[in-house]
Copies of this chain bind each other. A is one copy, B any other.
């Protein structure tokens, strides 16, 4: 494995815990993957590290959390943009996805993991098909993840899909030294019927894993679910009993008053619906703008997310932070909405809470796992320094990430990946994407 004792010093530490401290001249100690000290370097206990990171211009913070992603869709980056939704899906996305095999999805996921690590993302929730092979690769990479077994009602053999999801979730519990947490992902209420949902809920009751799904993303979806279920997506989930489990819902753009009341209800140490907010994807697909400031005021847990690359086209939580900070101000005509503290929280501890990991990661606190990133502030675009948190939300971008440590293990440092073969991932994805595009065009034509 890896050096079991890591020192990070000197740094400015932004804890992102409840007290949201900014500690200058700090030290952070990681032992056997856990944080054993965070505080002023002058007060740090004796420590003999195997490896030391840090420097006077570096800011340490918890790794970013990406609460909703379809990692393998890196294969589709830039394949089709700026199209009406139905045309885009039917003539471009679905024909391309129809050609994907498990190796394509594995390599697409490997590239996604490399991109996320480089961008300072240390935890992500994933939702895609052919999950077994892809999960092997991401487990090996050392990143923290919630992969899922998808259940898609429009695909054949839904009972078989649920049985596979249940078996796989049971096998995976505790995988990757606890870094990889299985979940089950019924696609949505408009693509999975009552039988499918009932079977999924039985499965998660038994294996005790989170549910990931999409809810209330578009106006069309809400209308369609009303037609099929006689209720909004959130209300249908409530009636199903799905909200008695840990449920992560991506999007939640189109909500009514009753939806928001249901979502805010306490459930299993969080809110009844935990929201993966995807500002870029919601804009790019013209879905609308989720009422995130209102949800947060009501106590709903909200994290940030990139969604898949086809609707983004990046896996960059810095970009999601910035857009979240901007768009909620624009649509409310209120410049105090989505302030820097709130946004940074959504990208770190808030995201961890959405994924049920709030007691393990998301902040720099003794006893939590060692998911730490270092950001280099010695750049023209980060001068002068009036306020560290403002810079993290409004001025830093992915290029400023110097070092990424997950579970006490350095995975990325100064442009070098320590676990992912990024050159192979780039080459495989380039070759496979080209061939998949040719096949898709032949099948669409």
Which residues of A are interface residues toward B (Cβ below 8 A)? 74-79, 81-85, 88, 111, 114-115, 118-119, 219, 280, 282-289, 312-316, 319, 322-323, 325-327, 329-340, 378, 380-387, 390-391, 394-395, 397-399, 422, 425-426, 429-430, 432-434, 437
Contact = CB atoms under 8 A, between A and B. Distances in A.
Contacts of A75: 384
Contact of A316 (B85, B111, B381): B381
A286 B335 contact: yes
Nearest to A389: B78
24 contacts: A78-B385, A79-B387, A81-B387, A82-B338, A83-B335, A84-B335, A111-B380, A114-B380, A280-B326, A283-B327, A286-B329, A286-B330, A288-B330, A312-B394, A313-B390, A316-B397, A323-B326, A327-B327, A331-B331, A380-B425, A383-B425, A383-B426, A386-B433, A397-B399
A77 B432 CA distance: 43
Contacts of A426: 378, 380, 383
A416 B322 CA distance: 27
A336 B84 CA distance: 6
A330 B282 contact: yes
Most chain B CB within 10 A, of A330, A331, A390, A398, is at: A330
A168 to B, nearest CB: 28
Across chains A and B, which 9 residue pairs bring their CB atoms closest together, nearest first?
Answer: A399-B399, A384-B433, A78-B390, A283-B326, A82-B339, A283-B330, A313-B394, A286-B335, A286-B329
Nearest to A285: B335
A286 B395 contact: no
Contact of A336 (B82, B283, B314, B382): B82
B381 A335 contact: no
Contacts of A390: 78, 81, 313
Contacts of A312: 394
B323 A78 contact: no
Contacts of A85: 335
Most chain B CB within 10 A, of A82, A288, A332, is at: A82
B314 A394 contact: yes
Nearest to A82: B339
A425 B384 CA distance: 10
Contacts of A115: 380-381
A382 to B, nearest CB: 8
A385 B434 CA distance: 8
Given A425-B380, A434-B384, A391 B333 contact: no
A426 B397 CA distance: 18
Given A312-B394, A386-B433, 20 more contacts: A74-B384, A77-B384, A77-B391, A78-B386, A78-B391, A82-B339, A84-B335, A115-B381, A219-B333, A283-B327, A284-B335, A284-B394, A286-B330, A286-B332, A287-B330, A314-B395, A314-B397, A319-B322, A381-B398, A386-B437
Contacts of A76: 386
Contacts of A395: 77-78, 313-314
Nearest to A394: B313
A429 B79 CA distance: 43
Nearest to A341: B82
Contacts of A319: 322
Contacts of A285: 329, 335
A279 to B, nearest CB: 8
A346 B322 CA distance: 21
Contacts of A437: 386
